[in-house]
Chain A
Amino acid sequence: MLPIKQYFASSIGKKQIAAVTGLMLSAFVVIHLLENILLFKGPEVFNAWVDTLQSTKPFLYIIEIGLLGVFVLHLFTTFKIVVENKRARKKGYKEEGATKILVKIMPISGTALLLFLIAHLIDFRFTNHHGPASIVMGNDLGLYGLVYNYFQNIFRVVGYCFGLAALGCHLSHAIQSVFQTFGIYSEKYNHVIKKTSVGLATGLMIGFSTIAILIYLGYAPTA
């Protein structure tokens, strides 16, 4: 056994932290998508679910702080990994090898995701859920109204889709990496792992984006 601090400071330990925290965040994103699908059940059903979540306070705050902690740990660890990787080759090659683009841009897609997340939290989490932005046809529809109004603007829809594209790029490499990091490798099932990873990432990307586009196109009920 290694002292816990030394274990998690090792290259493999760091990767395992990044993998576990990343997996937790992915699980949250999946739940988030399922919640978003409720938007098509109309304002009442959606807002009722929001109220149910709100009623679990202070438990809700504990979950949120936990998520934030996991996120910060993921960010901190991956940042450290990237810095060490840059340090390991200070001068690059004149002719670069053909590293898979999704792997190469992991730090970029990750940073894009971070910026998207900050904007997303400002837009939906740290904002008043009842106010002028929530009013649809004279009715205050709460968080539902906020989401509905937000996606009436084409630029916001496009910006949102870009954020989700970053998520898709990030997760299509990330999910399969988790398996390798924990030593799950088999010639027989590798293609399944790879396809699941890309499929899940693409599914999440298309799922969230489609919901935003459908709201823009007027497919979400207003009452």
Chain B
Amino acid sequence: MSDKINLTLNVWRQKSPKSAGKFEEYEVKDVDVNSSFLEMIDVLNEDLTKKGQDPIEFDHDCREGICGTCGAMVNGRPHGPLKNTTLCQLHMREFKNNETITLEPFRSTSLPIVKDLVVDRSAFDNIIKSGGFISAKTGSGQDANSILIPKPDADDAFNSAQCIGCSACVAACPNASAMLFVAAKVNHLAKLPQGQAERKSRVKNMVLAMDKSGFGNCSNAYECEAACPKGISVANIAAMNKDFMKAGIFS
């Protein structure tokens, strides 16, 4: 078994937000199968820089799969073929020798391309700003048992809170909808007692902020759930739909 593989990368290159952009092909030789996907691009970029070419721009930060900064479409799938895995945690052993890999940025009107594989996720920040927080002063840490939270609720809230805001859900959605992201953020707080005071205004404001950003509408294709590196369930979307109805009509 060889520890090195050769790859052909078909990468989307775009100089600036306004420029047209096109695919360019790169041959990458002797890729260590134990390197991560981003390390593979690092090596390619070093080569490109030495040759005096523009390196492939991509977003990354922690490279531990917990920050939500990285991400690109690998052969039509956000973060690549592995389930519950961010791009930085994807390793080259998942690919075959002489394979051609198509690399594209996440595409949606609301998250415009900055350069190559980098997208501007300010729209997500705006949604969070509209209500994804608790504004009450909480003071210093309380006694652990002073606020009792049933275990299933704590688990649910934690599952929703795992969302790292990487926007793979938007990228995977045939309608470029951000429902899974917004739903995860809404439910994370809706499940906890601390989130109750602003529960209604939160869901209203966050949904309206999402609409205002120009994301598509959910048509229940559930591609988001399949693509989510944190395995966030579409149950969150159902819960948000219900919460929005309660807040928007019945209160």
Q: Does A97 contact B216, Cβ atoms closer than 8 Å?
A: no
Say whether, besides A11-B210, A103-B219, A182 and B107 are in contact (CB < 8 Å). Answer: no
CB-contact partner of B216 in A13, A89, A104, A177, under 8 A: A89
Q: Does B239 contact A7, Cβ atoms closer than 8 Å?
A: no
| Cβ contacts under 8 Å, B104 to chain A | 93-95
Within 8 A of A (CB), among B157-189: 172, 174-177, 179
Total CB contacts across the A-B interface at under 8 A: 132
Cα–Cα distance between A79 and B191 once the two chains are bound (Å): 35
- B221 contacts the other chain (Cβ, under 8 Å)? yes
Cα–Cα distance between A184 and B239 once the two chains are bound (Å): 8
Select the stretch in A30-38, A80-88, A210-218 that faces chain B.
A80-88
Number of interface residues of A (CB under 8 A): 42
Q: Does A173 contact B248, Cβ atoms closer than 8 Å?
A: no
Cα–Cα distance between A12 and B204 once the two chains are bound (Å): 10
- A57 contacts the other chain (Cβ, under 8 Å)? no
Q: Does B248 contact A180, Cβ atoms closer than 8 Å?
A: no
Number of interface residues of B (CB under 8 A): 50
Q: Does A173 contact B76, Cβ atoms closer than 8 Å?
A: no
Per-residue CB contact flags for chain B residues 102-127 toward chain A (1 = under 8 Å, else 0) read 10100111100000000000000000
| Cβ contacts under 8 Å, B207 to chain A | 10-12
Per-residue CB contact flags for chain A residues 154-178 toward chain B (1 = under 8 Å, else 0) read 0000000000000000000100110
Q: Does B251 contact A85, Cβ atoms closer than 8 Å?
A: no
Chain A to chain B: the 3 pairs with minimum beta-carbon distance, closest first: A183-B242, A95-B76, A88-B216
B: which residues have CB within 8 A of A? 10, 12, 23, 73, 75-77, 102, 104, 107-110, 172, 174-177, 179, 204, 207-208, 210-211, 214-221, 223, 227, 234-235, 237-245, 247-251
